[in-house]
Structure 1
Amino acid sequence: MAATSTQAVLDTPAAEFRLEATDGKTYALDDVAGEKGTVVVFICNHCPYVKAVIDRMVSDARVLMSESVGFAAICSNDAASYPEDSYENMKRFAKAHDFPFPYLHDETQTVARAYGAVCTPDFFGYDADRKLKYRGRLDEGRTSPPHAGAPRELVEAMRAIALTGVAPADQKASIGCSIKWKDE
């Protein structure tokens, strides 16, 4: 079932984390943060919305990383109920799509809860001071590519944040599969 990211409280500080990545290393927010800003995106391996945007997301991440914006992806889904989102499958997914950024495993789901993540993909864009400035989508594409010449919304927002500290006021919510929460 599709879910839409909720309206965020801008200027909220980024939640700290320390998570294992698919490369076997452990990363904290400090390790992934960029000099000019940081993107934290919640994704998973099985979601059709993620599968539809993943190659554009990787391409845009490369652009942003080359412009001193840090980037990290986090999978928080319940792998017991959704085996395709297991840590081993995360490794395969990251390799298959040549991730240039850490793909982090939030097995306890505490990081997703701390960020208020709702769906996959769910993008959080922070300024250099790690204050939330963008809670929007990658672009207008959902399960199909955007039309030719469509704005690269995440890239454009993060460039504005890096340059001025301010994101565009018009932020369209991301839509995707709901986070697969563990039973309490």
Structure 2
Amino acid sequence: MAMLGYGIGMMHERTRRSLRATLVGVAACAVVAGLTAAVGGTENELHTGAAGAVTGIRLDGTVVSPLASAAGVEANVLLFVMTDCPISNRYAPEVRRLHDEFAGAVRFWLVYVDAHRPRDELREHRASFGYPFAALRDVDGALAALAGATVTPEAVVFDAAQRLVYRGRIDDRYVSFGVARRAPRTRDLHDRLRRLAAGETLAFSQTRAVGCYIPGA
């Protein structure tokens, strides 16, 4: 009987220890969850309020704030390109179509990541591919860093409240570098711009862009 009582006592002690461990684990999870909630948030929330202070340098040397609010503008698109990237250059006609379709509601900016090239060379490139909107030189990589752009071409979209709402490909024509479909199945950038132009509020979304890697990104 004494041995039986001892065994039962040991079982109760193990149960108490197990319960204490469970409670400690639950408390730890609650603390971690609280910290996650405190420092977490969606990607567009992390950029709220910070984007408007970003500046870019136009090809004529003037400094502008590409994400600044403007009457009637529902979105700003930063299109990261490189003069000698073949995929960037092949998308020029589609980019021109998007610009024409959403003129007034969406403001486009061409962002040259190869800003070390002479300004005249960048001007010639912009003119030869018929881009009808302003171009910026990302001299210190600040725009690419803010946007999280890593390849060209890559489109990064901020809404009228300067929240980051989209980053990624223009469409899914390119499966990988050098491998392309005859026609795209999904027009990712067009879809986001259509919804923003209609006044819709978007949560952040991202797709994988295929192109030339941005040096240092």
Q: TM-score by structure 1 length?
A: 0.76
**3-state SS of paired residue (1:124):** strand
Residue 115 of structure 2 is aligned to residue 88 of structure 1: no
- Name the structure 1 match of 2:186: 151
- Residue identity in the other structure for 1:110: A
Q: CA deviation at 1:75?
A: 1.1
State the 4+ residue runs in structure 1 displaced beyond 4 angstroms: 30-34, 143-146
- Name the structure 1 match of 2:94: 56
Compared CA separation, residues 144 and 54, structure 1 to 2 (3 A): farther
**3-state SS of paired residue (2:89):** helix
Compared CA separation, residues 166 and 30, structure 1 to 2 (3 A): closer
State the alpha-carbon separation in 1 of the partners of residues 90 and 213 from structure 2: 16
Which one scores higher on RCO, CA 8 angstroms, separation ≥ 6?
1
Compared CA separation, residues 32 and 72, structure 1 to 2 (3 A): farther
Q: Cα RMSD over matched residues?
A: 2.8
State the alpha-carbon separation in 2 of the partners of residues 86 and 96 from structure 1: 16
State the alpha-carbon separation in 2 of the partners of residues 97 and 22 from structure 1: 16
Unaligned runs of 5+ in 2: 1-41
**Bigger helix share:** 2
State the alpha-carbon separation in 1 of the partners of residues 184 and 138 from structure 2: 35
Residue 43 of structure 2 is aligned to residue 17 of structure 1: no
Residue 210 of structure 2 is aligned to residue 172 of structure 1: no
Larger radius of gyration: 2
Moved more, 20-29 or 123-132: 20-29
Q: TM-score by structure 2 length?
A: 0.65
Compared CA separation, residues 16 and 75, structure 1 to 2 (3 A): farther
Compared CA separation, residues 136 and 114, structure 1 to 2 (3 A): closer
Q: CA deviation at 1:20?
A: 2.6
Compared CA separation, residues 136 and 111, structure 1 to 2 (3 A): closer
Q: CA deviation at 1:118?
A: 0.9
- Residue identity in the other structure for 1:90: L
Compared CA separation, residues 162 and 72, structure 1 to 2 (3 A): same
**3-state SS of paired residue (1:156):** helix
State the alpha-carbon separation in 2 of the partners of residues 145 and 68 from structure 1: 30
- Name the structure 2 match of 1:3: none
- Asked whether the 8 Å contact 1:127–1:162 carries over to 2, the reply is no
